[in-house]
């Protein structure tokens, strides 16, 4: 996504979209070159004008399917541990 507002300090630069903050005037949460995040009005970018907007190519999804599967397996493992009887240690 490219910042298009003529008076914005990053005009013409491409940035990755982290998420969209919905509302009457939606904001895009973007990742800057130094890795920090900030908000920018959607209307100040080419995102609003694109027919089918998508985050920049190469952007790392915050939650991908592999990460979700790891969470499912972790929760199942924790659930099994909580059901297992505790072993007493010899005195």
Q: Is 30 domain-assigned?
A: yes
* pLDDT for the residue numbered 29: 92
pLDDT of residue 23: 76
pLDDT for res 21: 86
pLDDT at 51: 41
Q: Is 1 contained in some domain?
A: no
Q: What is the pTM of this model?
A: 0.52
Residue 22 falls within a domain, yes or no? yes
Cβ-proximal residues to 4 (8 Å cutoff; 6+ apart), any chain:
11, 12, 44, 45, 46
Provide the domain count of the chain: 1
- Is the residue at 23 inside a domain? yes
What is the span of the domain harbouring residue 70?
16-83
Instruction: Give me the tens of pLDDT residue by residue for the chain, a chain 91 residues long.
Output: 899 999 999 999 999 999 988 877 789 999 988 989 999 998 889 886 664 445 555 555 556 777 788 888 889 988 888 876 656 666 5
How far apart (Å, rounded) are the C-alpha atoms in residues 26 and 53?
A: 14
């Amino acid at each position: 996504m490219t910042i298009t507002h003529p008076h914005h300090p990053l005009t013409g630069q491409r940035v990755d979209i982290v998420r969209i903050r919905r509302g009457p005037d939606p904001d895009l949460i973007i990742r800057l070159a130094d890795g920090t995040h900030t908000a920018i009005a959607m209307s100040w970018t080419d995102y609003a004008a694109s027919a089918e907007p998508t985050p920049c190519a190469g952007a790392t999804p915050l939650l991908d399917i592999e990460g979700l599967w790891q969470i499912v397996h972790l929760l199942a493992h924790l659930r099994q541990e909580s059901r297992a009887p505790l072993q007493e240690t010899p005195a």
